[in-house]
């Protein structure tokens, strides 16, 4: 278990204010070589087996792509890892701890945060409220602390620290100009940026991005990728579900191919590119 | 959006100005109606006291419901059940111990009134927990079904003969069944003033009031003071819920209302937050029920029919769910116009036209219209049955609101869920790197750093 998994939020704001990235990232100190390990994951809905014994590992500090044709079980796998669904069998291990069957919030609090395929902004909250929501272990999340007269000053103090972090992240993602806007009024691309920014504010070790580039224009896509690479160099680990093969091949160090709920193959982009099975799976042949 | 903006913009003081204006007009209307009805000063003061009483009660209930629905998105249509439990538990704890031959059929535990009030609130909160535990995991509409069923179960339980009387700690207590329960404890105002040692002062004040109301001024003063006390409770509710909403706690509640999965995926234990919010709101509903019935002298289970729940919903919808200011406003407008208004209107018509002979049935009312095109009997009949028509009027208002103003008078306010203003901290400089006119990568074009908003990205307003 890394030290970074549960840092007190108020310490974070004091770090490296000069560096936009350092300001909101407390630094990732994952000790495990493979922070995420998935073993024999299985889930069926009625008669359909969506995930059928998938096993893989994600190496620390990498950008790992998870690809597969439609219906291969990518989104279900994501939901099983992050606790949105409970697996029928199999285990998920994060930073050396068995997290199978934990609630989504318990998993998020251990440092693994996801984004959604269709951006799920909180429409009737402003961008700033969306962002302020994310940081973990806020004192004011205790009802009595928020209400009681003297204690509320502590909450106020922490809110001020959080607000600085939030504005730094807004600047970093270049969405500071829409900070006061209701999230429901944003464009599709802006929502994607908001979601990633919001996920980062939870101070995770690992981010699971479900098709972060779907519906995003090429300029923004490039920008998002730049952000992802910068964050990866800092030590964040990424698992990325994506349809765009070229994008995966050009950006990921490691690629896992899912097919019919199982891991078909995995390896470097070059391995995958030349793999006959993968080509067949994507062209719809019988494997 | 424009209508509300217009209203708020035209009134000095914004929301506060609007509240003052609406309250002032309500009181003015009632005073004018009182003059029309030929009330003397005593009658006028009583009428103001009653109006204040219902404004206070509905503002409190509507604020509590706003925490459930406006903030957390919990569809509670069992409000009246929590009120009933509050009142009955308060009565059980605070009624004097049973004495054979007394007026009351059953006794209570004889504890001070404030102990009873706290016990009543706790009981309402615990009932909230019991309802919430299985139901909160379900989607919103299931919670609604569970809560309304619960409120009817509560009513039937208090109606039931099995709970009419039983022994607790060796004394005969009970809930009185269908015949109701006499609330024979010390009157609340007396208990309050005695506990702070001001009862003598209060009686002196009542004495002095004889200068204004010569004969037996006590009931008049009691009514006015109790009304003022309720407004004090409204202020406390408002303060409490405003702080609850404008905090990280309130932020999570809002997030749950918007999309519970997202809040959960960001590491918030949403079930825990929902239960806390639900229990707090239930306790506040219990207290509002206690304050409503405490001075009435008696309580029967059938007071707690589901329509009271829908009164509170109408009040909240008028004011605008999601806004505490709007909740108070909605409570006031509902109490003045829809709840008390029809009765005053009927009395007024009866006073202005004292010799009206209204038809005794719908048939006699409608037949002159059909045979002789004479609408007067129907009109008279309508006025005569306006109290029965009250619910119809409320339904029509609700339908009109849903079509034309679903956000309410003050709905959709920017009551930011944070302790501090979320503007860029002064210590931080704006983003560098010349953004003037630069094409943003998100598809929008910025003109000015802070005001550009979402030109390119705004999909709807």
CATH number at residue A244: 3.40.50.300
Angstrom distance (rounded) from CA A206 to CA B390: 59
Q: Is B259 part of any domain?
A: yes
To 5 degrees, how large is the angle CA A45–CA A47–CA A53?
Answer: 65
| Alpha carbon B103 to its chain's center | 33
Residue B1, chain A, CB below 8 Å: the answer is: no
Inter-residue contact A129 to A122 (CB < 8 Å): yes
Q: What residues form DSSP beta bridges with A237?
A: A206
Inter-residue contact B172 to B107 (CB < 8 Å): yes
Q: Which of B244, B258, B444 sits opposite A146 (nearest CB)?
A: B244
Angstrom distance (rounded) from CA A33 to CA A146: 40
B423 closest CA partner among B450, B455, B452, B389 = B450
Residue located via tokens 């106020």: A156
Q: Is B109 part of any domain?
A: yes
Angstrom distance (rounded) from CA B461 to CA B459: 7
Tens-level pLDDT at each residue, chain A (287 residues): 444 444 444 443 333 333 444 444 555 555 678 899 999 999 999 888 999 999 999 999 999 999 888 888 898 999 999 999 999 999 999 999 999 999 999 999 999 999 988 888 898 999 999 999 999 989 999 999 989 988 999 999 999 999 999 999 999 888 899 999 999 999 888 898 899 999 999 999 999 999 888 878 888 888 889 889 988 998 899 999 988 888 888 999 999 999 888 998 999 988 888 888 887 777 665 54
Task: Provide, rounded to the nearest whole percent, the portion of chain B with pLDDT above 90.
Answer: 50
What is the pTM assigned to this prediction?
0.86
B231 closest CA partner among B66, B62, B52, B24 = B52
Q: What residues form DSSP beta bridges with A54?
A: A41
Q: How confident is the model at residue B59 (pLDDT cuts 50, 70, 90)?
A: very high
Find the range with the poorest average confidence among B56-60, B351-355, B403-407.
Answer: B351-355
Q: Is B261 part of any domain?
A: yes
A113 closest CA partner among A229, A226, A197 = A197
Q: Is A138 part of any domain?
A: no
- With a CB cutoff of 8 Å and minimum separation 6, the contacts of B181 are B88, B91, B95, B106, B174, B175, B298, B299, B300
Interface contact A138-B418, CB threshold 8 A = no
Question: B30 to each of B36, B310, B315, B336, B337, how far by Cα in Å?
Answer: 10, 24, 19, 9, 10
Residue B422, chain A, CB below 8 Å: the answer is: yes
Which pLDDT does position B142 carry in this prediction? 87
Inter-residue contact A272 to A257 (CB < 8 Å): yes
SS3 A256: strand
Residue that wins the pLDDT comparison between A219 and B54: B54
- Show the domain range for B288: 9-339+385-404
Q: Is pLDDT above 50 for B445?
A: no
Query: How many domains are there within chain B?
Result: 1
Q: How confident is the model at residue B90 (pLDDT cuts 50, 70, 90)?
A: very high
Residue B176, token pair as written in the block: 């009185």
Q: Report the greatest alpha carbon distance in chain A.
A: 68
Query: How many domains are there within chain A?
Result: 1
Is the backbone of residue B434 left (phi > 0), alpha (psi -120 to 50) or beta? left
Number of Cβ within 10 Å of residue B40's Cβ equals 10
A155 closest CA partner among A126, A182, A135 = A135
User: What average pLDDT does this structure show over B235-258?
Assistant: 95
Residue that wins the pLDDT comparison between B265 and B13: B265
User: What average pLDDT does this structure show over B340-363?
Assistant: 80
Which pLDDT does position B378 carry in this prediction? 82
Instruction: Compute the half-sphere exposure of residue B37: CA atoms within 13 Å on the CB side of its CA.
Output: 21
Which pLDDT does position B50 carry in this prediction? 94
Residue B91, token pair as written in the block: 């009565």
- Show the domain range for A231: 3-122+204-283
Q: Is B175 part of any domain?
A: yes
Inter-residue contact B71 to B250 (CB < 8 Å): yes
Inter-residue contact A83 to A272 (CB < 8 Å): no
Residue B270, chain A, CB below 8 Å: the answer is: yes
Q: Is pLDDT above 90 for B454?
A: no
Which pLDDT does position B434 carry in this prediction? 40
Q: Is pLDDT above 50 for B210?
A: yes
User: What ipTM does this complex have?
Assistant: 0.86
Q: What residues form DSSP beta bridges with B327?
A: none
SS3 A123: coil
Q: How confident is the model at residue B404 (pLDDT cuts 50, 70, 90)?
A: confident
Chain B residues with CB-CB distance to A141 below 8 A = 248-249, 252, 268, 273
Which pLDDT does position A244 carry in this prediction? 81
The pair phi, psi for residue A241, each rounded to 5°, is -95, 130
Q: Is B351 part of any domain?
A: no
Q: Which of B269, B417, B444 sits opposite A105 (nearest CB)?
A: B269
Q: Which of A122, A138, A147 sits opposite B262 (nearest CB)?
A: A122
B429 closest CA partner among A22, A257, A171 = A171
Q: Is A171 part of any domain?
A: no
Q: Which of A108, A167, A187 sits opposite B459 (nearest CB)?
A: A187
Residue that wins the pLDDT comparison between B148 and B166: B148
pLDDT tens-digit series, residues B1-48: 444 455 555 666 667 788 888 889 999 999 998 888 888 899 899 999
Residue B405, token pair as written in the block: 């103003």
Q: Is A217 part of any domain?
A: yes
Q: Which of B266, B270, B441 sits opposite A198 (nearest CB)?
A: B266
Q: Is B104 part of any domain?
A: yes
Angstrom distance (rounded) from CA B365 to CA B357: 11
Closest-CA distance of chain B to residue A9, Å: 13
Inter-residue contact A73 to A258 (CB < 8 Å): yes
Inter-residue contact B182 to B103 (CB < 8 Å): yes
Q: Is B77 part of any domain?
A: yes
Which pLDDT does position B2 carry in this prediction? 42
Which pLDDT does position B115 carry in this prediction? 95
In eight-state DSSP terms, residue A43 is E
Q: Is B278 part of any domain?
A: yes
CATH number at residue B293: 1.10.3470
A15 closest CA partner among A197, A228, A237, A164 = A164
Q: Which of A120, A146, A148 has the most B C-beta neighbours within 10 Å, making it the best mutation to test the interface with B?
A: A146
A249 closest CA partner among A233, A269, A264 = A269
By CA distance, what is A107's nearest residue in B?
B267
Q: Is pLDDT above 50 for B448?
A: no
Closest-CA distance of chain B to residue A167, Å: 7
- What is the DSSP secondary-structure string of B268-337? --HHHHHHHHHHHHHHHHHHHHHHHHGGGSEE-GGG--HHHHHHHHHHHHHH-TT-HHHHHHHHHHIIII
Mean pLDDT estimate for chain B = 85
From chain A residues 10-69, the ones with a CB under 8 A of any chain B CB are: none
Number of Cβ within 10 Å of residue A183's Cβ equals 25
- With a CB cutoff of 8 Å and minimum separation 6, the contacts of A105 are B264, B265, B266, B267, B268, B269, B270
């Amino acid at each position: 278990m890394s030290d970074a998994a549960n840092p007190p939020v108020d310490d974070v704001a004091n770090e490296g204010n000069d560096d936009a990235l350092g300001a909101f990232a407390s630094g990732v100190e994952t000790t495990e070589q493979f922070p995420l390990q998935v073993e024999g994951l299985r889930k069926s809905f009625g008669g359909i087996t969506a995930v059928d014994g998938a096993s893989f590992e994600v190496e620390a500090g990498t950008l790992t792509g998870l690809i597969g044709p439609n219906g291969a079980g990518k989104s279900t796998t994501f939901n099983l890892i992050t606790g949105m669904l409970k697996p029928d069998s199999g285990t998920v291990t994060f930073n050396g701890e068995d997290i199978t069957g934990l609630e989504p919030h318990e998993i998020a609090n251990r440092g693994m945060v996801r984004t959604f395929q269709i951006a799920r902004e909180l429409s009737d909250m402003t961008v700033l409220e969306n962002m302020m929501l994310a940081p973990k272990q806020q004192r004011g999340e205790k009802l009595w602390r928020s209400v009681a007269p003297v204690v509320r000053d502590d909450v106020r103090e922490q809110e001020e620290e959080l607000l600085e972090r939030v504005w730094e992240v807004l600047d970093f993602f270049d969405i500071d100009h829409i900070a006061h806007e209701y999230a429901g009024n944003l464009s599709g691309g802006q929502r994607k940026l908001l979601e990633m920014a919001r996920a980062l504010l939870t101070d995770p070790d690992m981010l699971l991005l479900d098709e972060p580039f779907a519906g995003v224009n090429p300029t923004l896509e490039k920008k998002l990728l730049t952000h992802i690479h910068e964050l990866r160099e800092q030590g964040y680990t990424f698992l990325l579900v994506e349809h765009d093969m070229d994008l995966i091949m050009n950006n990921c160090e490691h690629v896992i191919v899912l097919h019919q709920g199982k891991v078909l193959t995995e390896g470097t982009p070059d391995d995958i590119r030349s793999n006959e099975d993968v080509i067949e799976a994507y062209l719809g042949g019988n494997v | 959006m424009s209508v509300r903006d217009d209203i708020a913009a035209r009134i000095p003081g914004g929301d506060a100005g609007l509240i003052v204006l609406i309250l002032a007009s309500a009181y003015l209307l009632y005073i004018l109606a009182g003059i029309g009805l030929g009330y003397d000063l005593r009658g006028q003061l009583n009428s103001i006291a009653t109006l204040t009483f219902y404004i206070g009660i509905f503002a409190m209930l509507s604020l509590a419901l706003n925490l459930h629905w406006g903030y957390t998105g919990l569809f509670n249509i069992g409000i009246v059940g929590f009120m009933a439990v509050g009142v009955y538990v308060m009565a059980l704890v605070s009624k004097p111990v049973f004495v054979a031959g007394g007026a009351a059929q059953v006794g209570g535990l004889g504890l001070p009134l404030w102990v009873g009030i706290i016990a009543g609130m706790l009981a309402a909160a615990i009932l909230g927990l019991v309802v919430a535990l299985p139901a909160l995991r379900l989607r919103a509409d299931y919670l609604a079904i569970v809560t309304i069923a619960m409120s009817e179960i509560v009513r039937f339980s208090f109606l039931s003969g099995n709970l009419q009387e039983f022994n607790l700690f060796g004394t005969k207590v009970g809930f009185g069944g269908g015949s109701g329960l006499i609330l024979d404890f010390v009157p609340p105002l007396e208990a309050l003033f005695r506990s702070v040692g001001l009862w003598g002062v209060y009686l002196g004040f009542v004495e002095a009031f004889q200068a204004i109301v010569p004969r037996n001024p006590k009931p008049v003063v009691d009514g006015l003071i109790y009304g003022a006390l309720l407004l004090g409770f409204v202020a406390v509710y408002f303060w409490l819920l405003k702080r609850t909403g404008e905090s990280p706690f309130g932020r999570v509640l809002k997030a749950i209302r918007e999309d519970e999965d997202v809040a959960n995926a960001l590491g918030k234990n949403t079930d825990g937050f929902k239960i806390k919010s639900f229990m707090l709101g239930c306790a506040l509903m219990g207290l509002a029920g206690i304050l409503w019935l405490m001075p009435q002298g008696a309580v029967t289970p059938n007071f707690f029919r589901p329509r009271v729940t829908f009164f509170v919903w109408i009040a909240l919808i008028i004011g605008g769910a999601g806004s505490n200011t709007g909740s108070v406003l909605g409570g006031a407008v509902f109490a003045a116009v829809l709840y008390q208004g029809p009765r005053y209107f009927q009395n007024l018509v009866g006073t202005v036209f004292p010799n009206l002979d209204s038809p005794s049935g719908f048939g006699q009312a409608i037949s002159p219209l059909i045979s002789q095109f004479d609408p007067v009997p129907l009109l008279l009949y309508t006025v005569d049955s306006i109290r029965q028509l009250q619910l119809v009027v409320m339904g029509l208002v609700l339908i009109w609101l849903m079509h034309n103003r679903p956000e309410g008078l003050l709905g959709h306010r920017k009551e930011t869920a944070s302790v501090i203003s979320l503007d860029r901290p002064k210590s931080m400089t704006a983003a560098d790197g010349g953004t003037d006119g630069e094409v943003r990568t998100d598809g929008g074009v910025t003109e000015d750093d802070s005001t550009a908003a979402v030109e390119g990205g705004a999909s709807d307003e």
